[in-house]
Structure 1
């Protein structure tokens, strides 16, 4: 009787050390962080129509940038990815590329605001620019948190003893981290074609 109790206790300890709880916990953290990334991108996308309506009367040189921002927003919101797609690098890359195009367009718009102080004098424009900058910061933080959760998950499913449960019970595969696009460190160039 005593031997069975000890054996049962040892089996329970061994199973608990095999990732039965840590793997799904880590995976749920990854999914939650991904939802945060998507929510912050959606917040940014929701701000853009307000920004466009505020600056519609601006000079024709800004209209091209605003059109580019709206087109990039439409493309960015049309690419959807679910938590189940986080194992597919191609789907994550497609989503990231659409978001990068929108971020690049917004970068040109922000650079335009710096180059043309008369736009900055409009209070509504300043408020919306502040909101977009805040959204960009939130996105950066959400991406950092997501990548940290992916790192922890990927480490969990690859290290002993959790790797046993990850493979045997869950068939766990590594998640794909979000990566900056090539050239993301370069500031956007503003050119309206009116330079000599």
Structure 2
């Protein structure tokens, strides 16, 4: 009889050991690391697309320089913004560090802005606008910008899903215990310039006309300042009768 009881205990223990992983999985113990890895994979896609854009820029800048060398301010700003964006060091810890993540996003957003100015230059130079090399680079850049937008959206969705799992039941139990080292990840936010549509006016400039340093591409040339106007003379009171 004693042997039977011992056998039953061993069978019960074996059953617990056998089904424990299944029960724990059903309680969501693997949910947090699974979603965390998914978010990191989406982050890798974002970085890949940003790198693809950075690789296109040198050829684009040189092509524009060949037709619009006088646009040196914009060309310099694009080169500097690319250097700044590629010098920001990022790794897995960046995703949970608000300051470093913001630095990375700001550098990329700045590059996006000056690239927009560079592409506007084509409206002032018909020869550049019809250049086959420029058109090919323009098409590749537009495709890359679309991929960046999609990859950032997918990353944000994965991060929201992961961050939610850290705060909701039952996965919050594991977030406070076994996966206590898992931290919320940062989201991409819309840049300030994305809140309003850009306005471009090419009406005041002739195609091929140089743009002074510091002027935005497509802006009308500055007009000469009007002479200063002094204060209006005070009215002389009419003599009393």
Per the TM superposition, whether the score is higher than 0.5 is: yes
- Does residue 41 in structure 1 map to residue 50 in structure 2? yes
Question: What's 2:147 paired with?
Answer: 138
Shift of residue 20 of structure 1?
A: 2.4
RMSD of the alignment, in Å?
2.1
Shift of residue 7 of structure 1?
A: 4.9
8 Å contact from structure 2 (residues 96, 184) kept in 1: yes
User: Which range moves more in the overlay, 114-123 or 34-43?
Assistant: 114-123
Shift of residue 167 of structure 1?
A: 2.2
Shift of residue 21 of structure 1?
A: 1.6
8 Å contact from structure 1 (residues 75, 98) kept in 2: yes
Question: What's 1:174 paired with?
Answer: 184
Question: What's 1:100 paired with?
Answer: 109
- Does residue 51 in structure 1 map to residue 78 in structure 2? no
- Does residue 187 in structure 1 map to residue 198 in structure 2? yes
Structure 2: state its 5+ residue gaps.
Answer: 1-7, 201-216, 224-241
8 Å contact from structure 2 (residues 96, 185) kept in 1: yes
8 Å contact from structure 1 (residues 66, 109) kept in 2: yes
What pairs with 1:89-168 in structure 2 (closer than 5 Å)?
A: 89-168=98-177
CA distance in 2, matches of 1:129, 1:63: 19
Q: 1:22 aligns with which of 28, 31, 35?
A: 31
User: Which range moves more in the overlay, 12-21 or 163-172?
Assistant: 12-21
Structure 1: state its 5+ residue gaps.
Answer: none
**Aligned length in residues:** 196
8 Å contact from structure 1 (residues 18, 164) kept in 2: no
CA distance in 1, matches of 2:143, 2:99: 29
Q: Which structure has the highest helix share of the two?
A: 1
Q: 1:73 aligns with which of 74, 82, 107?
A: 82
Shift of residue 174 of structure 1?
A: 1.1
TM-score, scaled relative to structure 1: 0.89
Shift of residue 60 of structure 1?
A: 4.0
CA distance in 2, matches of 1:61, 1:19: 61
8 Å contact from structure 1 (residues 107, 188) kept in 2: no
The structure that has the greater radius of gyration is 2
TM-score, scaled relative to structure 2: 0.74
- Encode CA deviations 1:66-106: one digit per residue, 9 max, x unaligned: 11111100000000211122111111100000000100010
Shift of residue 45 of structure 1?
A: 0.4
Change (3 A) 1:194 1:104: same
* SS at structure 1 position matched to 2:149: helix
